[in-house]
Structure 1
Protein backbone atom coordinates (compact mmCIF):
# COMPACT_ATOMS: atom_id res chain seq x y z
CA UNK A 1 0.00 0.00 0.00
CA UNK A 2 1.44 3.35 -1.09
CA UNK A 3 1.48 6.30 1.35
CA UNK A 4 0.32 9.66 -0.02
CA UNK A 5 1.90 11.63 2.81
CA UNK A 6 -1.41 13.43 3.41
CA UNK A 7 -2.73 13.69 6.98
CA UNK A 8 -6.31 14.82 7.61
CA UNK A 9 -8.25 15.40 10.82
CA UNK A 10 -11.72 13.98 11.39
CA UNK A 11 -14.38 16.64 11.97
CA UNK A 12 -17.12 16.62 14.65
CA UNK A 13 -19.37 14.49 12.43
CA UNK A 14 -16.68 11.87 11.77
CA UNK A 15 -15.94 13.07 8.22
CA UNK A 16 -12.64 13.43 6.41
CA UNK A 17 -11.90 15.22 3.14
CA UNK A 18 -10.19 13.21 0.42
CA UNK A 19 -7.79 15.56 -1.40
CA UNK A 20 -8.95 16.73 -4.82
CA UNK A 21 -5.84 15.46 -6.61
CA UNK A 22 -6.32 11.99 -5.10
CA UNK A 23 -10.02 11.98 -6.12
CA UNK A 24 -9.02 13.01 -9.64
CA UNK A 25 -6.33 10.32 -9.86
CA UNK A 26 -8.78 7.62 -8.69
CA UNK A 27 -11.67 9.01 -10.80
CA UNK A 28 -13.87 9.60 -7.75
CA UNK A 29 -16.63 12.10 -8.58
CA UNK A 30 -19.07 13.94 -6.32
CA UNK A 31 -21.82 11.51 -5.17
CA UNK A 32 -19.80 8.41 -6.16
CA UNK A 33 -20.33 5.58 -3.65
CA UNK A 34 -17.27 4.53 -1.65
CA UNK A 35 -16.79 1.15 0.05
CA UNK A 36 -15.19 1.08 3.49
CA UNK A 37 -13.10 -1.91 4.60
CA UNK A 38 -11.01 -2.59 7.68
CA UNK A 39 -7.87 -4.72 7.77
CA UNK A 40 -5.26 -5.07 10.50
CA UNK A 41 -6.14 -1.82 12.27
CA UNK A 42 -6.44 0.07 8.95
CA UNK A 43 -9.43 1.73 7.28
CA UNK A 44 -9.46 1.23 3.51
CA UNK A 45 -11.60 3.34 1.18
CA UNK A 46 -12.34 2.06 -2.32
CA UNK A 47 -14.53 3.38 -5.11
CA UNK A 48 -17.59 1.12 -5.25
CA UNK A 49 -17.92 -0.86 -8.48
CA UNK A 50 -21.39 -2.35 -8.76
CA UNK A 51 -21.70 -5.78 -10.35
CA UNK A 52 -24.44 -4.60 -12.71
CA UNK A 53 -22.93 -1.24 -13.74
CA UNK A 54 -23.14 -0.51 -17.47
CA UNK A 55 -19.71 -0.79 -19.06
CA UNK A 56 -20.39 2.21 -21.30
CA UNK A 57 -22.41 4.68 -19.20
CA UNK A 58 -21.60 3.44 -15.69
CA UNK A 59 -25.31 3.46 -14.82
CA UNK A 60 -26.64 0.94 -12.32
CA UNK A 61 -30.27 0.31 -13.28
CA UNK A 62 -32.78 -2.51 -12.87
CA UNK A 63 -33.11 -2.46 -16.69
CA UNK A 64 -29.41 -3.31 -17.26
CA UNK A 65 -28.81 -6.56 -19.15
CA UNK A 66 -25.91 -9.01 -19.09
CA UNK A 67 -24.39 -10.33 -22.33
CA UNK A 68 -21.50 -12.64 -23.18
CA UNK A 69 -22.04 -15.06 -20.28
CA UNK A 70 -22.36 -12.14 -17.85
CA UNK A 71 -19.09 -10.52 -18.89
CA UNK A 72 -20.71 -7.48 -20.54
CA UNK A 73 -23.29 -5.34 -18.72
CA UNK A 74 -25.24 -2.70 -20.68
CA UNK A 75 -27.94 -0.20 -19.74
CA UNK A 76 -30.63 0.73 -22.29
CA UNK A 77 -28.61 3.84 -23.17
CA UNK A 78 -25.41 1.78 -23.35
CA UNK A 79 -27.13 -0.70 -25.69
CA UNK A 80 -28.24 2.15 -27.97
CA UNK A 81 -24.70 3.58 -28.06
CA UNK A 82 -23.21 0.12 -28.72
CA UNK A 83 -25.76 -0.60 -31.48
CA UNK A 84 -24.98 2.72 -33.17
CA UNK A 85 -21.22 2.09 -33.00
CA UNK A 86 -21.58 -1.45 -34.37
CA UNK A 87 -23.71 -0.16 -37.25
CA UNK A 88 -21.12 2.53 -38.00
CA UNK A 89 -18.16 0.13 -37.85
CA UNK A 90 -19.87 -2.49 -40.02
CA UNK A 91 -21.45 0.08 -42.35
CA UNK A 92 -24.94 -1.28 -41.72
CA UNK A 93 -28.17 0.61 -41.21
CA UNK A 94 -30.98 -0.46 -38.87
CA UNK A 95 -32.92 -2.37 -41.57
CA UNK A 96 -29.85 -4.37 -42.57
CA UNK A 97 -29.15 -5.15 -38.89
CA UNK A 98 -32.70 -6.52 -38.44
CA UNK A 99 -32.28 -8.76 -41.51
CA UNK A 100 -28.97 -10.06 -40.12
CA UNK A 101 -30.70 -11.13 -36.90
Structure 2
Protein backbone atom coordinates (compact mmCIF):
# COMPACT_ATOMS: atom_id res chain seq x y z
CA UNK A 1 0.00 0.00 0.00
CA UNK A 2 1.21 3.50 -0.82
CA UNK A 3 2.14 5.94 1.95
CA UNK A 4 1.77 8.87 -0.44
CA UNK A 5 -0.14 11.96 0.66
CA UNK A 6 -2.84 13.37 -1.58
CA UNK A 7 -4.24 16.91 -1.48
CA UNK A 8 -7.90 17.28 -2.42
CA UNK A 9 -10.31 20.22 -2.22
CA UNK A 10 -13.94 20.07 -1.15
CA UNK A 11 -16.62 20.98 -3.67
CA UNK A 12 -19.60 23.22 -2.87
CA UNK A 13 -21.41 20.28 -1.22
CA UNK A 14 -18.43 19.31 0.95
CA UNK A 15 -17.41 16.29 -1.15
CA UNK A 16 -13.95 15.18 -2.18
CA UNK A 17 -12.71 12.38 -4.43
CA UNK A 18 -10.78 9.48 -2.92
CA UNK A 19 -7.70 9.04 -5.14
CA UNK A 20 -7.89 6.18 -7.63
CA UNK A 21 -4.82 4.39 -6.23
CA UNK A 22 -6.33 4.32 -2.73
CA UNK A 23 -9.66 3.02 -4.11
CA UNK A 24 -7.75 0.31 -5.98
CA UNK A 25 -5.56 -0.66 -3.01
CA UNK A 26 -8.56 -0.92 -0.65
CA UNK A 27 -10.93 -2.48 -3.23
CA UNK A 28 -13.40 0.38 -2.85
CA UNK A 29 -16.28 0.05 -5.28
CA UNK A 30 -18.99 2.55 -6.22
CA UNK A 31 -21.28 1.50 -3.38
CA UNK A 32 -18.62 0.91 -0.73
CA UNK A 33 -19.65 2.40 2.59
CA UNK A 34 -17.11 4.61 4.36
CA UNK A 35 -17.04 5.49 8.04
CA UNK A 36 -16.16 9.13 8.77
CA UNK A 37 -15.31 10.53 12.19
CA UNK A 38 -13.06 13.19 13.68
CA UNK A 39 -10.25 13.01 16.17
CA UNK A 40 -9.37 16.52 17.26
CA UNK A 41 -8.42 18.36 14.07
CA UNK A 42 -8.22 15.17 11.98
CA UNK A 43 -10.95 13.74 9.77
CA UNK A 44 -10.68 9.95 9.71
CA UNK A 45 -12.15 8.08 6.73
CA UNK A 46 -12.16 4.28 7.01
CA UNK A 47 -13.49 1.47 4.87
CA UNK A 48 -16.71 0.36 6.54
CA UNK A 49 -17.13 -3.39 6.74
CA UNK A 50 -20.73 -3.50 5.66
CA UNK A 51 -20.55 -7.19 4.79
CA UNK A 52 -21.24 -6.98 1.09
CA UNK A 53 -23.63 -9.75 0.04
CA UNK A 54 -22.45 -12.64 -2.09
CA UNK A 55 -23.43 -12.22 -5.74
CA UNK A 56 -24.44 -15.90 -5.96
CA UNK A 57 -25.99 -16.75 -2.56
CA UNK A 58 -26.91 -13.32 -1.21
CA UNK A 59 -25.17 -14.14 2.11
CA UNK A 60 -23.58 -11.26 4.04
CA UNK A 61 -20.81 -12.74 6.17
CA UNK A 62 -17.24 -11.88 7.16
CA UNK A 63 -16.12 -14.95 5.18
CA UNK A 64 -17.12 -13.24 1.91
CA UNK A 65 -14.30 -12.13 -0.36
CA UNK A 66 -14.40 -9.24 -2.82
CA UNK A 67 -12.54 -9.71 -6.10
CA UNK A 68 -11.57 -6.74 -8.28
CA UNK A 69 -12.18 -7.17 -12.01
CA UNK A 70 -11.45 -4.30 -14.36
CA UNK A 71 -13.50 -1.38 -13.10
CA UNK A 72 -15.80 -3.40 -10.84
CA UNK A 73 -15.86 -5.76 -7.90
CA UNK A 74 -17.46 -9.16 -7.33
CA UNK A 75 -18.21 -10.35 -3.80
CA UNK A 76 -18.53 -14.11 -3.22
CA UNK A 77 -19.07 -16.27 -0.16
CA UNK A 78 -17.16 -19.57 0.15
CA UNK A 79 -20.36 -21.35 -0.94
CA UNK A 80 -20.78 -18.93 -3.85
CA UNK A 81 -17.21 -19.62 -4.96
CA UNK A 82 -17.84 -23.39 -4.89
CA UNK A 83 -21.10 -22.97 -6.80
CA UNK A 84 -19.46 -20.75 -9.41
CA UNK A 85 -16.52 -23.13 -9.83
CA UNK A 86 -18.95 -26.03 -10.33
CA UNK A 87 -20.88 -24.08 -12.94
CA UNK A 88 -17.67 -23.10 -14.72
CA UNK A 89 -16.48 -26.72 -14.77
CA UNK A 90 -19.83 -27.84 -16.26
CA UNK A 91 -19.61 -25.08 -18.87
CA UNK A 92 -16.02 -25.98 -19.73
CA UNK A 93 -16.96 -29.66 -20.09
CA UNK A 94 -19.96 -28.83 -22.33
CA UNK A 95 -17.70 -26.78 -24.61
CA UNK A 96 -15.19 -29.63 -25.06
CA UNK A 97 -17.82 -32.33 -25.74
Q: Which structure is richer in relative contact order (CA contacts within 8 A, separation 6 or more)?
A: 2
Query: What's the TM-score, normalizing by structure 1?
Result: 0.51
Structure 2, unaligned runs of 5 or more: 65-75, 87-97
2:53 to 50, 53, 59: 59
Q: Post-superposition, which runs of at least 4 consecutive aligned residues in structure 1 deviate over 6 A?
A: none
Q: Provide Cα deviations, 1:34-89, integer angstroms capped at 9, x if missing partner.
A: 11011121111111103xx2xxxx318xx7487xxxx867xxx737436659xx8x
| Higher Cα radius of gyration | 1
User: Partner residue of 2:20?
Assistant: 20
Question: How many residue pairs get matched?
Answer: 70
Aligned residue for 1:35, secondary structure, equals: strand
Give the structure with the higher percent strand: 2
RMSD value, Cα: 3.3
User: Partner residue of 2:32?
Assistant: 32
Partners of 2:19 and 2:63 lie apart in 1 by 33
Query: What's the TM-score, normalizing by structure 2?
Result: 0.53
